[in-house]
Amino acid sequence: MQQTREVWGSKLGFILAAAGSAIGLGNIWKFPYITGENGGASFVLVYLICIAVIGLPVLIAEILIGRTTQRNPVGAFYKLSHSKFWAAVGGMGVVAGFLILSFYAIIAGWSIGYIVEAINGNFFRWPEPVAAADHFNSLVTDLPWIFGYFAFFMVLTMIIVFSGVQKGIERASKIMMPILFILLIILMIRGLTLDGAAKGLDFLWNPDWSKITAGTVLLALGHAFFTLSLGMGAMLTYGSYMSEKDSIPGAALQIVILDTLIALIAGTAIFTSVFAVGLDPNAGPGLIFHTLPGVFTKMPGGYFFSILFFIALTIAALTSSISLLEVVVAYFVDELNWKRHNAAIILSAIIFSLGVPSVLSFNVLADFKIFGLDFFGLVDFLASNILLPLGGLFIAVFVAWVWGFDKVIPNLRKGAEKFIDHHPIMSGAWKIFLKYLSPVLIFLVFLYSIGILQDIFNLF
């Protein structure tokens, strides 16, 4: 089990890779549409509070478990607790990695397909939302199209993870993240300079307090987990390649700021554009694939910007998917002594097979429902709404109550001596948040996710 473990080449490499994991479909596809569905600015405000109060403390905890143990999630929990129960909690993360990637890569595949659509000028042939939605449906029911791009995206993910931590993940992140930032800033400037952009800004930035409900809070918290890649060991695994010379609180803060900034930049780009052309922001998951293509046809330079947009979406998805595959690969390499190359190929193939029923749920199996959800919806729900919050809850409880702060703080201090010694209030707040606030709030999200509280809240 003691083979030499890879490490990040530099602190910047770790930050870009971890920010790459965080910044993904969650920021560019999910955040804008749930903001649209939940009244805009009020949701954004609650989301920002959740990120600061729960997201950041849990992120620090998760990276710390990884860096201290230098193991995959299963090995990490076992090393610190010698308990099978906690090893199983790590195992839940590995399972979540399989499941999330199996549907994440499908949407990422559409994004690649939409780069091609954009280049072919197809958005101009179906500019109205209804026609664009029909066109979308004709694509996802075309089996070679949907399977082809899904497979293509999985191969890209596999190649990067196959190449290793430094030569694959770190190098890819260092190239792709700056490109992503530049593309999104260009798209934001395009949105802001359209006539009527102000309405979009208003929607995103002017909170209506009356719209904040318990449901909004819990939804925002759930999304905070997804967008920061928390609760399934991705940040733990990336943290396991981190040096003890670097500061975890510092790195975590930078990751959180980058992730939040990108969600807001993407939100600004999308809402200013949608409002400027007079369309409805409340389009649900179809916002990006049904509404946005039409939006591009109505703005100056739209052909060009539509291509940039789907390239940005694909890059964002790829730097996240590699972190999902890495969790699974790290487990098989550390615990079962697999070679990284074999693990990357075999596990990608398994994840692809796992995705087959999800792909079919957009076409052949569209009418096949379990608990009212199709297979894709079911896997998404199981992973995002059950495994992630539960994993986050366990991480907070583990660090605060099981591992214990007397052992935790000396490890956290490594690389952050000055910060911890000079800001006792900050580390004190971190302890309290992790010990009480995070577990209670996450538990509520979890109950809400599984619908127990949903009925109660709907009564009001």
Provide the binding-site residues for ligand PHE, judged by CB under 6 A.
Answer: 21-22, 24-27, 100, 226-227, 229, 232, 234, 320, 323-324
Q: Partners of 370 in the beta sheet?
A: 373
Length of the chain equals: 460
Nearer to ligand PHE, 204 or 318 (CB): 318
- For residue 318, the minimal CB distance to ligand PHE (Å) is 11
Q: CB burial class (10 A; 0-12, 13-18, 19+) of residue 338? A: middle
Which lies closer to ligand PHE via its Cβ, residue 316 or residue 400?
A: 316
| Shortest distance, position 118 Cβ to ligand PHE, whole Å | 21
Total Cβ atoms within 10 A of residue 336: 9
Question: Residue 206's CB: how many other CB atoms inside 10 A?
Answer: 11
**Closer CB to ligand PHE, residue 32 or residue 415?**
32
Between 25 and 132, name the residue whose CB sits nearer to ligand PHE: 25
Please compute, for residue 277, the number of CA atoms within 13 A of its CA located in the half-sphere on the CB side.
23
If the CB atoms of residues 107 and 360 are measured against ligand PHE, the closer one turns out to be: 107
**Least separation in angstroms between CB 196 and ligand PHE:** 29
Tell me the CA distances in angstroms from 440 to 221, 232, 389, 398, 424, one per residue in order: 12, 19, 11, 14, 24
Torsion over CA: 228, 235, 79, 326 (sign): positive
Closest distance to ligand PHE from the beta carbon of 456 (Å):
28
Contact residues for 103 (Cβ-Cβ < 8 A; gap 6+): 355, 358, 376, 379, 380, 383
The packing angle between helices 388-397 and 214-227, to 10°, is 80
Tally Cβ neighbours within 10 Å of residue 440. Answer: 11
d(CA 347, CA 79): 24
Residue 211 DSSP symbol: G
Residue 67: CB minimum distance to ligand PHE, A:
18
Name which of 27 and 306 has its Cβ closer to ligand PHE: 27
Q: Which of 27/314 has CB closer to ligand PHE?
A: 27
Q: How far is the CB of 35 from ligand PHE (least distance, A)?
A: 14
Complex with ligand PHE: residue 183 or 234, whichever CB lies closer: 234
Least distance (Å) between residue 173 CB and ligand PHE:
13
CB of 258 to ligand PHE, least distance (A): 12
Nearer to ligand PHE, 21 or 260 (CB): 21
- Cβ neighbors of 240 (< 8 A, separation 6 or more) are 5, 66, 67, 69, 70, 71, 72, 76, 330
Task: List C-alpha distances in Å: 117 to 108, 120, 125, 309.
Answer: 14, 5, 10, 12
Task: Sort residue 428 into left (φ over 0), alpha (ψ -120 to 50) or beta.
Answer: alpha
Residue 328 CB, shortest distance to ligand PHE, in Å, is: 11
